[in-house]
Structure 1
Amino acid sequence: MAERVWEPGDRLPSRAQIGQEYGVGENVVRRAQELLISQGVLEGRAGSGTYVAEPRERVRVVRSSARQRVRVVRSSAREQPSGSPFRADMNAVGRRGVWESRTAAKVPAPAEIAARLGITEGELCVRTTYEFLADGKPVQLSASWEPYDLIAGSLVVLPEGGPHAWAGVVNRMAAIGVTVSHAVEQPEPRMATAEEASLLGIQKAALVTHIRRTYYSDQGRPVETADIVVPAAHCEIVYEIPINR
């Protein structure tokens, strides 16, 4: 059986043709194609067929406590705090990192979120959803939850509004006298939901990395928890671990 090579942009033969050529059933071919689509190797085009995807440079996202330092970036309009780890990551690789956000106050905490924040299910939270862009292209989604009783009435009650907007969780909490001592992250691979795929511009059921992150104060209280979703085909996640000597 001769080996066949398809180049980026090439249209693959039908599943029936591939199955006949390689002596396997169409279901086997379908599952193989779905796996390669989820990995970004192939792409399906509605009404047209399956193609070899054009290679895309993966964005490196560094997860590190070192990224939480307070920095100030000068702009022509005003000084902007840039304590966001995402902005630091994008600056490090020469990309422009921006995000869009939507905040809702006094949202009852679902059971899983309440457990992560150490509060009772239904207690009020401030929920902020984010769409992160690198050079204008979506690369990350996030949904952040903060206990309302912790930040109510303060200047940081709106994560992306007020004098501490764009500063990141660590800097915002410091502004109200709360010292964030550490974060816990739990990454796991899964398939994208239809909504996530639409927002990220990827195939439905493509592989993503889902990171559950929770920040803790030096008193051991969870002060923020978030669900971060990163498309595996477009981003690589690297953990940078500082060594204390």
Structure 2
Amino acid sequence: MREQASYLRIADDLRRRIAGQKWASGEQLPSRAALAREFGVSGAIIRRAQEALITDGVLEGRAGSGTYVAEQRKRCRMVRFQATGQAGAGYRGPDLGVLGEGETWEGRSDVMTPAPAEIAARLGVDEGAYCVRTAYEHLVDDKPVYLTTSWEPYDVTKGSLVVLPDGGPLAGAGVVRRMAELGISVTRTQERSEPGTTNAEEANLLGVQRGTPCTRIERTFYSDDGRAVETADIIVPSVLCEIVYELPVSRS
């Protein structure tokens, strides 16, 4: 109990110093040994105090370098359109939204991944049916802002040049454009959103605290014959990004 009280007291002290600008955003803290001498405790207690502040997003650890004050990141705006992919002639991305200047993305595809039960139900395929699973990180100024995991039935794209959403001649062109290459007309998309929080893996990828509030969007694209050709889970942490929809107004 005494050790627990010590590391919490030290964490509170470090938090107050950071709030008071003793160390600026991005600045490295003194070494663990130096802080241990200052507070008259062991290095293990300092480590626990720093870990608590890392979990809270106040500090960030850098392997082989030390502990730093976490940099405050600018909140982005994701603009989503009714006609996905028609946000502008220069836009290329995985059919999600436009973040603006400095926007990039990285993707990694795994071919012939068995579909879990929930994904299979959304795609209308048998559980365990092969899919192409692609994990995206969406970045602004090289820092992740939101995440997407996309699933496409392997039977739809196998043997084609567009089997990999993140590779080939249409890498990053989006579901609508890639499916058109196969003669498939995507005519409808359905989205379902709900509030949630980031789990440990998501928080680690995004550089936020575990349990950070987020919007979870479940999106599915359908062809003109009603077949689901792609479904995706989109995780948008509210501290990093707001979601804005731009929809046309009918004049009739």
TM-score (norm 2): 0.70
- Contact kept? 1:114, 1:122, Cα under 8 Å: yes
Whole-Å separation in 2 of the counterparts to 1:138 and 1:147: 27
How far off its partner does 1:242 sit?
2.1
Whole-Å separation in 2 of the counterparts to 1:156 and 1:46: 39
TM-score (norm 1): 0.72
- Contact kept? 1:124, 1:147, Cα under 8 Å: yes
Q: For residue 127 of structure 1, what is the aligned residue in structure 2?
A: 133
1:239 and 2:245 matched:
yes
How far off its partner does 1:65 sit?
2.4
Whole-Å separation in 2 of the counterparts to 1:232 and 1:8: 26
Q: For residue 118 of structure 1, what is the aligned residue in structure 2?
A: 124
Whole-Å separation in 2 of the counterparts to 1:123 and 1:213: 19
How far off its partner does 1:116 sit?
0.4
The structure whose RCO (Cα within 8 Å, separation 6+) is larger is 1
Whole-Å separation in 2 of the counterparts to 1:234 and 1:187: 17
Distance verdict in 2 for CA 1:59–1:218, change over 3 Å: same
How far off its partner does 1:54 sit?
7.4
Q: Aligned pairs, how many? A: 198
Whole-Å separation in 2 of the counterparts to 1:148 and 1:103: 12
- Contact kept? 2:57, 2:208, Cα under 8 Å: no
Work out which of the residue numbers 84, 89, 92 in structure 2 matches 1:82: 92
- Contact kept? 1:69, 1:83, Cα under 8 Å: no
Gaps of 5+ in 1: 1-5, 12-36, 48-52, 74-80
Q: For residue 79 of structure 2, what is the aligned residue in structure 1?
A: 62
Secondary structure, counterpart of 2:202 in structure 1: helix
Distance verdict in 2 for CA 1:8–1:162, change over 3 Å: farther
Whole-Å separation in 1 of the counterparts to 2:80 and 2:112: 29
- Between the aligned residues of both structures, percent identity stands at 52
Distance verdict in 2 for CA 1:106–1:43, change over 3 Å: closer
Distance verdict in 2 for CA 1:54–1:134, change over 3 Å: closer
Distance verdict in 2 for CA 1:69–1:46, change over 3 Å: closer
- Contact kept? 2:87, 2:98, Cα under 8 Å: no
Work out which of the residue numbers 192, 197, 201 in structure 2 matches 1:191: 197
- Contact kept? 2:203, 2:210, Cα under 8 Å: yes
The one-letter amino acid of 2:81's match is: S
Q: For residue 215 of structure 1, what is the aligned residue in structure 2?
A: 221
Q: Please identify the structure whose Cα radius of gyration is greater.
A: 2
Whole-Å separation in 2 of the counterparts to 1:107 and 1:84: 19
RMSD, matched Cα: 2.9
Whole-Å separation in 2 of the counterparts to 1:222 and 1:237: 24
1:201 and 2:207 matched:
yes
Work out which of the residue numbers 156, 167, 178 in structure 1 matches 2:173: 167
Q: For residue 19 of structure 2, what is the aligned residue in structure 1?
A: 10
Whole-Å separation in 1 of the counterparts to 2:249 and 2:85: 16
Gaps of 5+ in 2: 1-14, 21-53, 62-69
